[in-house]
Structure 1
Amino acid sequence: MSTLDETATPEELLARVALGDEAAFARLYDELAGPVLGMVVRVLRDRAQSEEVAQETMLEIWRKAATFTPERGNVRSWALTIAHRRAIDRVRSEQSGSDRETRAGRLDPHRDFDEVAEQTMLRLERDDVRAALASLTDLQRRSIELAYYDGYTYREVGALLDIPVSTVKSRMRDGLIRLRHVLGARA
């Protein structure tokens, strides 16, 4: 591309941008970024979101430069129209999300949805553990239940089941290996 003329109009710059001229886009960006951001801030009234939408607008200008038709207006008006449309879209998106949350809250205002998801996950995990425990031998299952659920030591489990401590340890080890295998297959 040839060097840019310092007096190039926004329309001339945009025509060069349509051909992929990054230097022309940098100049056009310098001319349009302020007005675009100003338009978006007036609509959104939130600086952080406005900066994001302004960047999205400038990116859209880069991508759609070839679609600009000078007969329909000037580049600045075209850019501000894109900015306004994107800002309105953001407002609608935010409002839609807020409306969804409000409707969900009206369904059951006392229920916290994170709590529901957590309770559901815990129930599913408990069901998985129960099913995995059912896959163990009686001695493995009973040893693990006494030790992990009832808090007994190896010695106490051995006394309750009337088996040696070494047998308790080996049955629990084998049972835990089996549980890890069964539960790992479900993950």
Structure 2
Amino acid sequence: MITDIDSVLLVKVARGDREAFARIYDTWSGRIFSLICSIVVDRAQSEEVLQEVFLEVWQRSGAFDPAKGSARAYLVTLARRRAIDRVRASQAARDRDAAQPVEREFDETLAEVEERIVAQDVRTALAKIGEPHKSTVELAFLTGYTHAQIADLQQVPLGTVKSRIRDGLAKMKSILEGER
């Protein structure tokens, strides 16, 4: 028996229920759009990706299996995949358009390399902090959710969310300082 209302709605969407689709869209479109924007950055492209995600929900929600995961996980996974695909496609197009190499000053190149190293260090530290800190920090800083929204999503008290974020950031700081 399915207990999650969003899972019930997705099962109904798979049967062609337009009202269930509208409820899923109304409930999740804002959060999914925030996630997509954090990955794609460009607002116009993010809007297109959001449309693609919900078109896929309408057309392929039969692939959703409540026994394998929550509706939230299904929607977030669809959105992440579509957003990452869009970023990759945009990058490939830029790479193709860059017929002639652009000469850069040494300092610009060095700055880009340093940014990439720092970003990789942060991703590594985030992976090392473990759950539930990792997912909570990701929701707070990568999706732009408020602490209250995260508490609602994770079904935990607001104070727990704040503690997880604080403790997760402290762990990341310790990991990052240990690597230097």
TM normalised by structure 2 equals 0.52
Give the structure 2 partner of residue 47 of structure 1: 43
Please tell me whether Structure 1 or Structure 2 has the larger radius of gyration of its CA atoms: 1
Give the structure 2 partner of residue 87 of structure 1: 83
Q: How many residues align?
A: 99
- 1:63 to partner: Cα distance: 0.8
From 27, 30, 34, the equivalent of 2:26 is 30
- 1:84 to partner: Cα distance: 0.5
Amino acid at match of 1:42: S
- 1:26 to partner: Cα distance: 0.5
- Equivalents in 2 of 1:68, 1:57: separation in Å? 14
- Equivalents in 2 of 1:65, 1:44: separation in Å? 24
- Three-state SS of the structure 1 residue aligned to 2:7 is helix
Cα pair 1:35 1:80 within 8 Å, conserved: no
From 100, 117, 121, the equivalent of 1:105 is 100
Which runs of structure 2 are paired with 1:154-169 in the superposition (5 Å)?
none
Which runs of structure 2 are paired with 1:99-138 in the superposition (5 Å)?
99-102=95-98, 104-106=99-101
- Equivalents in 1 of 2:65, 2:17: separation in Å? 18
Change (3 A) 1:28 1:82: same
- Equivalents in 1 of 2:85, 2:4: separation in Å? 32
Amino acid at match of 1:83: A
**Deviation digits for residues 30-63 of structure 1, max 9, x if unmatched?**
1110111011001011111111101110111111
- Equivalents in 2 of 1:74, 1:91: separation in Å? 26
RMSD: 1.6
Which runs of structure 2 are paired with 1:165-176 in the superposition (5 Å)?
none
Change (3 A) 1:8 1:68: closer
Give the structure 1 partner of residue 15 of structure 2: 19
TM normalised by structure 1 equals 0.50
- Equivalents in 2 of 1:58, 1:8: separation in Å? 19
Give the structure 1 partner of residue 141 of structure 2: none
- 1:105 to partner: Cα distance: 2.7
Amino acid at match of 1:86: R
Cα pair 1:14 1:28 within 8 Å, conserved: yes
From 76, 80, 83, the equivalent of 2:72 is 76
- Equivalents in 1 of 2:70, 2:31: separation in Å? 14
Q: For structure 1, list consecutive stretches of 5 or more residues without a partner in the other structure.
A: 1-6, 107-187
Q: For structure 2, list consecutive stretches of 5 or more residues without a partner in the other structure.
A: 102-180
Cα pair 2:4 2:70 within 8 Å, conserved: no
